[in-house]
Structure 1
Amino acid sequence: MLNRVIQLFPLWALLLSTVAYYSPELFTPYKSAIIPVLTVIMLSMGLTLTLSDFNKVMQTPKAIALGVLLQYLVMPLVALTIVYTFNLDDDLSLGVILVGCVAGGTASNVMCFLAKGDVALSITMTAISTLLGVLVTPFLISLYAQQLVDIPTQAMILNLLKIVLAPVLIGLLLNTFLQKQVAKIQAILPLVSMTAIVFIIAVIVALNHAHIASVGPVILCAVILHNGIGLLSGYWAARWCGFQEVVCRTIAFEVGLQNSGLAVALAMKFFSPAAAIAGTVFSIWHNISGSILASIWSKHALPAKPSSTPAQDQVN
């Protein structure tokens, strides 16, 4: 019964998003709850991890390198291609490029967890891409959009520490030193995470319902295409490189789900509200598409790991 409820994740997300769109007043008062709820999700992830999970990740540097490389290679290039293909105006073009040039978002960690991916690998890639983004994001925006922006370095690092690393570390320590007690609640942790992310999606929809109503089908198609290509390229590039299914799923989410909140913040600070539309729509859509994909993958058991394969040798 519990697994069935979790597997219907996309349905709950779409239902609550619809309610939030038509009755935003039910959710807008909870804007300040987004960060605490996200922290609870990251804590839940940490409670499922052990030190050996991160030790294994450190033994697979090729997977980390591939995920981060695709993040900053595929998404900006796809953004630029979309801008020219759809012939977007300057503001919308800037918004799409901003989304393509930022790091992976924490949504990738949540969806990876629900899809039975490698959560430790996902968190590691998000942390590294975020730290690299301090230098890489301004360079890419300058290169592709011909605009110079100052990235809020300190704020990014503090957010990474507070929202992602600290709660995951606390959960990891609790699972290490109170393993028996934590084991009793681990079965419900995916349900907790699912409920929390559905709530967050609804609040985001409610806060941006005016923008959603005003955007045309062109920007919506552009965002869906951008996100979809990111997910597909992440998965199939990892498959082509011979990585195991669990790694392929993880890299797919890392590449396809962006830190769109940062893209919105940069657009509002340095450009215009119109430039923030792409990031706003992406923030909503990538949670919905990610939840659908996570639900599909959660229904399919991961292949049993062979004792030794060429692909494993390549990863190790």
Structure 2
Amino acid sequence: MDSPLVTVLLPLVLAVVMFGLGMSLTVADFRRVADYPRTVAVALGCQLVLLPFVCFGLVEAFGLAAAPAVGMMLLAASPGGTMANVYSHLFGGDVALNITLTAINSVLAVVTLPLVVNLAIDHFDPAGSGDSVGLQFTKTVQVFALILVPVAVGMWVRARREAFALRAERPVKVLCLTILAVIIVAALLAERGNVGEYTVEVGPVAALLSVVSLAAGYGAARVSRAGHAQSVAACFEIGMHNTSLALTIALSPSLLDSTEMAVPAAVYGILMYFTAGAAGLLLRRVGERQKSGARGGG
């Protein structure tokens, strides 16, 4: 899919998304790990270890073809997106913790994402010849540039022009979501001849991954004795992956260059808003019951 939409617009959208994330960050967000060390450790463990294994199990259980299987693994290895912060805010989560987890996840993904993708390519061998190159070192550097450079620039702008950064945060999110929706539609149209088959094949796996991710985020945080707000933050951070990053890596001619590998992220990018919304409504009720119980017990 070597078109201006992919070669120029998609990386630009990702850069703007990560720049917007950077404008919401301060150095204090990274220091906040000390406030919730156990919750942060558990959430990162879910993101970096549990989800790739869960996704691998789902892919194997459903018998996905090679390219969609690698696309699912790419999606599972992608860090939380900025929408995780939005959903956390809407449904009573600890947004500060969300931002902290997103920041750390994005930094770690520079190493973990290429590792998971290369292992998936080696295992599933989408080329069918055993010579797939995957994300080599030079491509890993490009992933680094896609993720961290815009974040660093955004943090610099936030430090120097805080008022501007705060004003720009909402318009940047709306713009990015709009363009990302267009790109998802374009990716699906590019495979319109197979989109029905892909949706039937990938849809159940993507939906299950979303549900398991959301449940694992909240459940693991509660097991670590985190409060409800912190658990809601972990729920959305682990359950809402950065689809713009997954799409960029899958579609970019200089990275994986595969529309088939992008389909899982495109399908998931639509489904996750419904599963995350349902989870948010459920968690809001849980939070209200806990508050009522606390008042009644008092």
TM-score of the superposed pair, with normalisation by structure 2? 0.71
Corresponding residue number in structure 1 for 2:117? 137
Aligned to 2:270: 288
CA distance in 2, matches of 1:211, 1:53: 41
Please, which moves more after superposition, 289-298 or 40-49? Answer: 289-298
Equivalent residues in 2 for 1:229-240 (5 A)? Answer: 229-240=208-219
For 2:278 and 2:236, locate their aligned partners in 1 and report how far apart those are by CA, in whole Å.
11
Higher mean alpha-carbon deviation, 249-258 vs 51-60, is at 249-258
Point out the more displaced range, 157-166 or 286-295: 286-295
Match of 1:64 in 2: 44
Structure 1 partner of 2:232: 245
For residues 132 and 107 of structure 1, what CA distance do their matches in structure 2 show? 10
TM-score by length of 1: 0.67
CA distance in 2 between counterparts of 1:177 and 1:112 reads 26
Is 2:30–2:103's contact at 8 Å kept on the other side of the alignment?
no
Q: What is the Cα deviation at residue 46 of structure 1?
A: 1.4
Deviations 1:94-137 (A, max 9, x none): 11221133265768423223323513312422442441243343
Instruction: Find the partner of 1:160 among 132, 135, 143.
Output: 143
Give the aligned partner of residue 94 of structure 1.
Answer: 66
Shift of 1:293: 5.3
- Equivalent residue, structure 2, for 1:38: 14
Structure 1 counterpart SS, 2:133: coil
**Aligned match of 1:111:** 83
Query: Residue 167 of structure 1: CA displacement?
Result: 1.4
**C-alpha root-mean-square deviation of aligned residues, in Å?**
3.6
1:170 and 2:153 matched: yes
Describe the shift of the 1:129–1:166 C-alpha distance in structure 2 as closer, same or farther (beyond 3 A).
Answer: closer
Cα distance in structure 1, aligned partners of 2:48 and 2:246: 13
Q: Please report how far the alpha carbon of residue 247 of structure 1 lies from its aligned counterpart in structure 2 after TM superposition.
A: 1.1
Structure 1: distance between partners of 2:117 and 2:5: 30
Cα distance in 1 between the residues matched to 2:201 and 2:66: 13
CA distance in 2, matches of 1:30, 1:226: 27
In 2, the alpha carbon distance for the partners of 1:80 and 1:258 equals 24
Q: Aligned pair 1:81/2:61, yes or no?
A: yes
Instruction: Report the Cα distance in structure 2 between the residues aligned to 1:210 and 1:167, rounded to whole angstroms.
Output: 28
CA distance 1:292–1:237, change in 2 (3 Å): closer
- 178 and 106 in structure 1: CA distance in 2 versus 1, 3 angstrom threshold: farther
Which segments of 5 or more consecutive residues in structure 2 lack a partner in the other structure?
89-94, 291-298
Deviation at 1:252, TM superposition (A): 0.8
Provide the aligned length of Structure 1 versus Structure 2.
Answer: 260
Q: Does 1:224 align with 2:223?
A: no
**Structure 2 counterpart of 1:249, one-letter code:** F
The alpha-carbon deviation at position 198 of structure 1 amounts to 1.7
Which range moved further: 64-73 or 54-63? 54-63
Give me the whole-angstrom Cα distance separating, in 2, the residues matched to 1:71 and 1:255.
Answer: 14
Following TM superposition, by how much is the alpha carbon of 1:246 offset from its aligned partner in structure 2, in angstroms? 0.6
- C-alpha displacement of 1:150: 2.7
Assess, with a 3 A threshold, how the Cα gap between structure 1 residues 76 and 218 changes in structure 2: closer, same or farther. Answer: same
Relative to 1, partners in 2 of residues 1:195 and 1:298: Cα closer, same or farther, differing over 3 Å? farther
Counterpart selection for 1:190 from 160, 163, 170:
170
Distance 1:172 1:106, change over 3 A: farther
Structure 1: runs of 5 or more not aligned: 1-27, 307-316
Offset at residue 158 of structure 1 (A): 2.6
Please report how far the alpha carbon of residue 251 of structure 1 lies from its aligned counterpart in structure 2 after TM superposition.
0.6
Tell me which residue corresponds to 2:295. Answer: none
- Matched residue SS, 1:238: helix
Amino acid at match of 2:144: L
Change (3 A) 1:102 1:279: same
1:201 aligns to what? 181
